[in-house]
Amino acid sequence: MIDAYEDPGTPDVRGGWRYLWWLVRCQPGRSVAGALLGSTWMVLLAATPYLMAKAIDEGLEPGDWSALSGWCFALFAVGSFNAWLSIMRHRTMTRVRMDANFRTVKVVVGQAVRLGAALSRRTGAGEVVTIGVGDVQTIAQALTVVGPGVGACVAYLTVAALLVSVSPVLAAVVLLGIPALVVLVGPFLSRLQGAETEYRNRQGVLTARIADLAGGLRVLNGLGGKSLVADAFHRDSQHLRTQGYRVGAVTSWVQALGVGLPTLFLAVVTWLAARLAAQGDITVGELVAVYGYVAVLVGPVAFWVECGYQLSRGVVAARRVVDFLRLEPLEDKGTRDAPAEPSALHDPESGVTILPARLTALTSAHPTDTATILDRLARYTPSRATWAGVPLDEIRLPQIRERILLADHEADLFAGTLGEMIAPHRGAGNCATSHNEPAAALHAAVADDIAQALPDGLDSQMDAQARNLSGGQRQRIRLARALLANPEVLLAVEPTSALDAHTEALVAERLRITRTGRTTALTTTSPLVLDHADTVLYLVDGKLAATGTHQQLLAQEPGYRALVARDVEVVK
């Protein structure tokens, strides 16, 4: 089975079927072993009625007790050996499925890491969660076809050959009847694929809505929007339930036919064999053997239907994984070096220029406009933005990432100690000197009280996304992490939006001191922060409308004053 640190290989993303075949090819020895064990197990199931027929014809009917004893012992030996084979087959197939499961998890996680910050811009959180929770298991289960599926084919051919020696008529009925049963189930499997695809898509949408609710329930409740979102969730969940009923209806027909048709076929063949035995064309032992052979075939037919069902669902899941693996991060065509000295960043689309070694604030009535500008200046979206007059798209991306940091106010916080959360690149076992750096960053972000309140300080264990902290505390932790990175250019999106006025004023003051001599740009509408900025850029509809200090814009721009002024005396 794949090791936790083993390279999972390069997946085949040309389609769902090719991805499933790639999972089989990644473990050829185990797959072949599963097929051999499954085939031998099913063939020996067919040997049971053969041995029973011999015991009746050669031992029981003529009264030869030694022959009867011999054939009975052979039955016991074959049954015991087959029981052991069944155990080994199950173990092997469990390893096949687990390998496929872990391998898919690794390639999906690797792709998520590869996409990096582009992940949220390429797909929704619900899609990734649905893949990890449901699709991975479905894909692994589909590989059942490797063992019992192959074994069913071998057992079918073996039983057909045995029936030829008993009665060509019965052999012809079995050879033609079994494929006919599988063909009857085929249309339902096609319908299942379509219904399952629609169900998975709706499930991804609903999972994304659940993630949004979990992250913003407190804010929604405060704004009075909880009922609106709850109604939308209820509507989506009802659609998902309706689609689930469609999937269940098709599945019930597939499973019913998988059990009912082979049983009906068994009855027909047994009736034909009984007539042949009554006419003297076959012996009583052969009649028992025919019944046993056909009874054994119920298993392979049921496996075929089950494998078809699992493959139909597995292909749907594999296609979703393949679609995710096909996503590409922001393409890097840059061949030029970044400017050697601190230089200005310019966004022609909005007219915004971020001067070096200054604290610049961007403000707008629409926060998404300012956040989009920072996205372009950090090169997370294609644009005509420049750095020292050089288009950002032409500069090598690693150099941009090394010197320009975009600090999103909703950036992920990973579980671990507080020190690891703030300084993940330093890892565990920080020395005393390195402990001082996070402490300084926490102080600059006015977050030192958070560490002091925790039982073990920087060594305190934190939940994923720091859920054991309040929204304002999480925001200050994110800011501390960005300040600790100490990039040449820091672009911060709404770094104080969840803070009270007193804390916000302290953050603005310490941020200015901490970032002295370095380029900093942030988006905000808070006058407490804007008053500490060297330059304030006022935007209207995503375009630069005015530039100046906070006080200058208050006096000269009525729109700016209406947007940011919180003191009615200032408005006068």
Instruction: State the pLDDT at residue 511.
Output: 94
Q: What is the pTM of this model?
A: 0.64
Which segments of 116-167 does DSSP mark as H helices, in order?
119-122, 125-130, 136-142, 148-166
* φ, ψ at 489 (rounded to 5°): -125, 120
Instruction: State the pLDDT at residue 223.
Output: 47
Instruction: State the pLDDT at residue 58.
Output: 77
Tokens representing 322 are 């393949």
pLDDT tens-digit readout, 216-228: 544 444 444 556 6
SS3 content of the chain, % helix, strand, coil (to 5): 70, 10, 20
* φ, ψ at 38 (rounded to 5°): -65, -40
Helix axes 284-325, 148-166, angle to 10 degrees: 160
Give CA–CA dist 454/462, Å, rounded.
10
Instruction: State the pLDDT at residue 572.
Output: 35
Name the stretches of the chain with pLDDT < 70.
Answer: 1-5, 61, 124-127, 129-130, 133, 178, 181-182, 185-186, 188-194, 196-197, 200-230, 254-255, 258-259, 302, 425-436, 566-572
Instruction: State the pLDDT at residue 222.
Output: 45
Three-state DSSP state, 360: strand
By the 8 A CB rule, do 294 and 167 touch? no
Instruction: State the pLDDT at residue 334.
Output: 84
Instruction: State the pLDDT at residue 357.
Output: 94
Give CA–CA dist 540/566, Å, rounded.
19
By the 8 A CB rule, do 142 and 355 touch? no
Instruction: State the pLDDT at residue 430.
Output: 40
Instruction: State the pLDDT at residue 570.
Output: 40
By the 8 A CB rule, do 489 and 346 touch? no
Instruction: State the pLDDT at residue 482.
Output: 93
Instruction: State the pLDDT at residue 426.
Output: 56
Q: CB burial class (10 A; 0-12, 13-18, 19+) of residue 333?
A: exposed
